[in-house]
């Protein structure tokens, strides 16, 4: 059984150009500022280390945008964060993902069939979470339901 849920009004903030040698300290400052501002952080993504610079991003509710903007100002970064709002998060959850093969392939087949580009992807043991633009929502959901 595969369960598909959606959450509307999802924003993503990405802090880039973080020096690798001070990455943990910087990320801690970001999360501390968000916590003080009472922003609920959801999906977290960090780029794999491939250079001396990295980036970290996470999702939060569009409703928390004013609080997150205030928190972002507290963090002195080399460049301002990128913010993308008005998105939809899909969570595709299935026990099949634990030991099965091809689950992620099917999610990407649905994305490709819908011509929907993922803005952020995270996974857990039995689920894949994908954020897409609101304009891609209907087609992506249709394709997911065909496959699953």
Residue among 92, 96, 82 at smallest CA distance from 123: 92
What does pTM read for this prediction?
0.92
Over its length of 148 residues, how does the chain's per-residue pLDDT go in tens digits? 799 999 999 999 999 999 989 999 999 999 999 999 999 999 999 998 888 999 999 999 999 999 999 999 999 777 899 999 999 999 999 999 999 899 999 999 999 999 999 999 999 999 999 999 999 999 999 999 999 9
Cα–Cα dist 127/114, whole Å? 20
Contact 57, 12 (CB under 8 A): yes
Cα–Cα dist 22/64, whole Å? 27
> Quick one: which H or E segment has residue 93?
strand 82-94
102 and 60 co-located in one domain: no
State which residues form the domain around 47: 11-85
- Count the residues in the chain: 148
80 and 136 co-located in one domain: no
Residue among 141, 71, 66, 84 at smallest CA distance from 111: 141
The domain tally of the chain equals 2
Residue 32 φ/ψ, nearest 5 degrees: -65, -45
17 and 69 co-located in one domain: yes
CATH code, domain with 94 = 3.30.70.260
Cα–Cα dist 111/133, whole Å? 12
């Amino acid at each position: 059984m595969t369960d598909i849920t959606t959450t509307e009004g999802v924003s993503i903030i990405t802090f880039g150009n973080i020096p690798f040698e001070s990455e943990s300290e910087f990320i801690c400052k970001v999360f501390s500022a968000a916590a003080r501002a009472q922003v609920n952080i959801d999906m977290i993504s960090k780029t794999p280390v491939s250079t001396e610079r990295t980036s970290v991003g996470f999702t939060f509710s569009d409703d928390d945008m004013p609080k997150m903007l205030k928190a972002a100002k507290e963090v002195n970064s080399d460049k301002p964060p990128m913010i993308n709002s008005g998105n939809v998060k899909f969570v595709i959850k299935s026990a099949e993902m634990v030991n099965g093969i091809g689950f992620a392939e099917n999610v990407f087949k649905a994305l490709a069939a819908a011509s929907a580009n993922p803005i952020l992807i995270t996974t857990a043991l039995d689920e894949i979470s994908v954020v897409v633009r609101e304009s891609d929502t209907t087609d992506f959901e249709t394709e997911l339901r065909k496959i699953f």
